[in-house]
Amino acid sequence: MDTGNVILKLENIIKTYPGVTALDGVTIEINRGEVHAIVGENGAGKSTLIKTCTGAVKPDSGNIIIDSNTFKSLTPKESANQGIAVIYQEFNLVGELSIAENIYLGRALRKGITIDRKKMVEKSRAIFNQFGLDINPEELVRNLTVGYQQIVEIAKAMSQDAKILIMDEPSAPLTNQEVEAMYKIVDRLKEKGVTIIYISHRMNEIFRLSDRVTVMRDGEKIDTLDTSSTDINTLVKLMVGRELNETYPGRDFPIMEDILLEVKDLNGNGLHDINFKIQKGEVLGFAGLIGAGRTELAELIFGIKHAVSGTIYMNGKVLNCKSPKQAIDNGIALVPEDRKKLGAHLDISVRENTSIAILQRISKNSVVDKTKENEIAEYYREFLRIKTPHLEQKVKNLSGGNQQKVIIGKWLASDPDLIILDEPTRGIDVGAKFEIYSLVNSLVSEGKTILMISSEMEEIMGMSDRIIVLSEGRITGEFNKKDFDQEKIMAAASNIER
């Protein structure tokens, strides 16, 4: 890599929104053929920065220089013509079309006036061959795993002769095996001279893939470092502007002996013969591979789905929730895995999101007490340190970490006894993670009980008092904190006899 060969320069980029400076004079140089990581807390300005490159956002001032061509701003078409392609977390694919049709969507190859499907299939297959992948371009996208859908998105970018590929949290929806496959593709792209801008909250990926890393904070570029000459602690300190003394803050208060929730012989929603107890003030972690049944268990407890047989007891009494409302009335809350589709109402305000689960409690004759609603929303805004210019801000305009805090605030407002956290820190930065971990400790110190589902092994081991492992809808292991062992937990998750 020629480190003096700049392919993209963002020069003094400024972008403001009402009440927020998203980018404050940011200058970054991206070298040809490198993997350049961009890291920072949610709200640091990473997404706005890449959107200025793709033409989705028009900066207030500054220059975008691509291969010596200078632009004040770009349209999406100009960005594509300059060889920039982006892969977002949410894929832009049509499930009912074939892989080849998706790769050439909107740019169909033609023979005269007729679409040349044969040529699209041939060219698609040639792209996959570059990566050493045997994929049938005629397969429907709806039949693909998330990992293969991502490969289709990469192939789509390569079909446009992308010189610069922006990857925004590309590993977030992937299994561990799919992540490894993605790493190999990134390596292959780099070998072919493609420049990659890689955005991720996962520090292990930054050090595995990138040549250089730029740290952003509060809309400013803090520093650009050679990845090989820095370490995680340095990056984290630059990202959050403070020391994080421990990744997982310790707890020194005892778990109560009383049983809050007991599950006996539970079957249904893909689960088989599930039995466990959870004590008051305990953090019980559920580990397992994707599809193991962890979210399905949360759905049964929260009344989203119904059991075929078995019994759930809460405080010694039979719990038979036919709906989430009944679960809420019984003191259960669920922070779901997909915060954008299931957790938050993105098009309404922070205030309305915070109060939505308790409207009956703060209403009289079907009229909401606005004063009380504002007091509750303001309390949780301060308690959770939600970064928002005001309570009327739409949640869709907040960063991912702050969206997650709004969802947690909504459920804390309902004063639950049991809080189910399904992938609570997915897609959020290390600073926000630390705040959520500290919040979990604060909640259990008050006697709340946490059922935590996480695919991050370090997180589930770092935060849980006890771990139950699921595989193919069955419990295949249980570990007390003193017995936590990553290899043994993974063996149980894979249902391997050891």
State residue 478's pLDDT score.
96
> Contact at 8 Å (CB) between 421 and 463?
no
Do domains 6-240 and 259-493 share one topology? The answer is: yes
Residue among 464, 386, 459, 385 nearest 426 (CA): 459
Could you tell me where the DSSP H helices lie in 302-399? 324-329, 350-355, 370-383
pLDDT digits over 312-326, tens only? 999 999 998 999 999
Fold annotation for 6-240 = Rossmann fold (3.40.50)
Strands of the 317-319 sheet, one edge to the other: 271-279, 259-268, 309-314, 317-319
Side-chain half-sphere CA neighbours of 317 within 13 A = 6
Q: Which two tokens stand for residue 483?
A: 């017995």
Q: Which two tokens stand for residue 68?
A: 């010596």
Q: Which residues does 256 contact at the CB level (< 8 Å), separation at least 6?
A: 279, 280, 281, 282, 447
State residue 3's pLDDT score.
43
Measured between alpha carbons, how far is 428 from 94 in angstroms, rounded to an integer?
27
State the CB neighbour count (10 A cutoff) for residue 55.
20
State residue 474's pLDDT score.
95
Measured between alpha carbons, how far is 98 from 105 in angstroms, rounded to an integer?
10
The pairing of strands 363-364 and 367-368 is antiparallel
**Could you tell me the pTM of the whole model?**
0.64
State residue 285's pLDDT score.
96
Domain ranges of the chain: 6-240, 259-493
pLDDT digits over 326-363, tens only? 999 999 999 888 777 777 888 889 999 999 888 888 88
The pairing of strands 35-40 and 212-217 is parallel
Residue among 318, 174, 264 nearest 475 (CA): 264
DSSP category for residue 255: P
State residue 496's pLDDT score.
59
State residue 245's pLDDT score.
56
State residue 1's pLDDT score.
42
Long-range Cβ contact pairs of 179-186 (< 8 A, separation 24 or more): 179/205, 181/147, 181/151, 182/147, 182/150, 183/208, 183/209, 184/131, 185/131, 185/151, 185/154, 186/35
Enumerate helices (H) and strands (E) in the chain, giving the number of each: 16, 24
Residues of the chain with pLDDT below 50 are 1-3, 498
Quick check: helix, strand or coil at residue 178?
Answer: helix
Domain 259-493 grouped into CATH 3.40.50.300 = yes
Mean pLDDT of the chain: 88
Q: Which residue spans within 67-194 are E strands per DSSP?
A: 69-71, 84-87, 110-111, 114-115, 164-168
